[in-house]
Amino acid sequence: MNPFKPLFSLLLLLAAAFFAGAVAAAPQQLQSAIGLPAWLSLDLVHRTRYETLDDQFRAGHEGGDQALSLYTSVRLAARGERWRVVGELIDARAYLTDPGGAADSNLVDTAELAQAYLGVHFDGLDGPVENVDLMLGRMMFDLGAGRLIGRNLFRNMPNAFTGAKLELGGRHDDRLTFMYLLPHSRLPLDRASVLDNEVEFDRESFDTQLLGMHYRYPLVRDTSLEGFVLGLHERDGDWQHQTQNRQIVTFGSRLFRPRASGQLDFDIEGGVQTGEARASASPLDRRDLDVFASYLHAELGRLFALPWSPRLSLQYDYASGDDDPNDGDYGRFDGLYGPVRGDLGPTSIFTHLIRSNLNSPGLRIEVAPNARADAMMTWRAVWLDSDRDSLGLSGVRDASGASSSFAGHQIELRGRYWLLPQSVRLEAGGALFLNGSFLDTAPNATGEGDTAYGYADITFYF
């Protein structure tokens, strides 16, 4: 590992901490300083992060990678008794990126109006429906646990949608959600524009439509049951945007009990996908394949009533891969628009694991010494579900299946500390991926050895 990279990260943290002390009186006083009325709120969030990666794992790439990324969100909301209008501008930029690295529109998306919606709320209604929430416009949200539709919190640019979302709240604290959404295509697409932080507004199109229904029902002892169906209709657009022409439906359910001191908690979610899709987004790929894929997340944990509030959890993540690239069927699960950070490790320039072609048990321990600090460590072993399909987004593949299915071990660490409670937070962490036989012997593996990733950031909440 380059010794100057960790030094740069440490200097960034020290400089940020000094700046935090200089503005200690400013955070969370923006609202009163401007003198906004009670019905109008303004929130500003800024994060500066330095991240570095050594020993590339992506096929066709070599060497390390790095980025100094800046994330700024300005959110303005006007609220009445039964309505709200919300706008959010996000500016995501990156510097010091390596020309052969992984920087793309997930990292860079400048001056983007990510949210602009009208919300209407009615409550106290008679009948089986007690309250109604309707959102129209550009929006970001988590559906259930956020595994298939969610707002990315670690990645520089979150997923966003344009459309309508209707929520109906029942008398038994159950909730039924309907949605019709046009996912945003993040721009620019070409690498030169990304590296130059060029401004190009994202766009939505009827060429990609996402619709669905989600239902949550509370059971006994804080346990809840969810069920959902999501349909994705996609075709190549008329503005040089190539797709897999996915025509897929995802059916799933979730049974969970949230964490609470001194008791077991669990989260079991899974589903299947059917429909048609193409194996790639290449314009030369015109063959529609029959889709049948599945996924599962299972987690069992306990938050102990002890000093430092330790929580220990066992985890298992599975997502099907494509068993045979030549059989006319497609078995690789598509994670749609869901973040993977919470379950599978850091994303951004790392993003080693995604919810596709994965068979991975893990163990996680979390501690919180006090209200200002917390830390987490996760270990997981990683196998491919199909040894003839690629690993994650790496592009590493052995179509013959001769390179075994064991990809390796991933060890992740993260620590967070509030310099100023609810105003300035430091975070640092990283991941080490110890290669297994698949990443050592696959025909297009990089051969660079184990991949190490580290980051440090500071976030201001105004």
Give the other-Cβ count within 10 Å of 328's Cβ: 10
- How sure is the predictor about 68, in pLDDT bands with cuts at 50, 70 and 90? very high
Q: What is the CATH number of the domain that holds 92?
A: 2.40.160.100
| DSSP 8-state code for residue 160 | -
Look at strands 289-303 and 329-330 and give their pairing.
parallel
- How sure is the predictor about 73, in pLDDT bands with cuts at 50, 70 and 90? very high
Burial class, 21, CB count within 10 angstroms (exposed 0-12 / middle 13-18 / buried 19+): exposed
Q: How many folded domains does the chain comprise?
A: 1
Residue with tokens 């850091």: 346
Mean pLDDT over 76-99 rounds to: 94
Mean pLDDT over 418-427 rounds to: 93
**Residue 4, pLDDT score:** 45
- How sure is the predictor about 302, in pLDDT bands with cuts at 50, 70 and 90? very high
Q: What is the pLDDT of residues 143-161, one digit of tens each?
A: 999 999 999 999 999 999 9
**Residue 15, pLDDT score:** 53
Q: Among residues 275, 267, 271, 269, which one has the least CA distance to residue 292?
A: 275
Mean pLDDT over 282-292 rounds to: 90
Q: What is the pLDDT of residues 354-366, one digit of tens each?
A: 999 999 999 999 9
Helix (H) / strand (E) element for 413: namely strand 406-420
CA separation for the pair 44, 31 (Å, rounded):
10
- Structural domain harbouring 195: 4-461
**Residue 321, pLDDT score:** 97
Look at strands 451-461 and 424-435 and give their pairing.
antiparallel
Give the lowest-confidence range in 14-18, 110-114, 121-125, 406-410. 14-18
| DSSP 8-state code for residue 184 | P
**Residue 12, pLDDT score:** 52
Mean pLDDT over 378-406 rounds to: 95
346, 339 in Cβ contact below 8 A? no
**Residue 35, pLDDT score:** 79
Q: What is the pLDDT of residues 437-448, one digit of tens each?
A: 999 999 999 999
**Residue 3, pLDDT score:** 42
Q: What is the pLDDT of residues 168-224, one digit of tens each?
A: 999 989 999 999 999 999 988 888 888 899 999 999 999 999 999 999 999 998 999
pLDDT at 13 over 70: no
> By percentage, how much of the chain surpasses pLDDT 90?
79
Mean pLDDT over 31-38 rounds to: 80
pLDDT at 305 over 90: yes
User: Which ranges of 110-207 would DSSP assign to H, the alpha helix?
Assistant: 191-195
**Residue 252, pLDDT score:** 98
- The pLDDT mean for the chain works out to 91
**Residue 19, pLDDT score:** 52
177, 131 in Cβ contact below 8 A? no
pLDDT at 25 over 80: no
Mean pLDDT over 278-305 rounds to: 93
Give the lowest-confidence range in 13-22, 236-245, 321-330, 386-395. 13-22
278, 266 in Cβ contact below 8 A? no
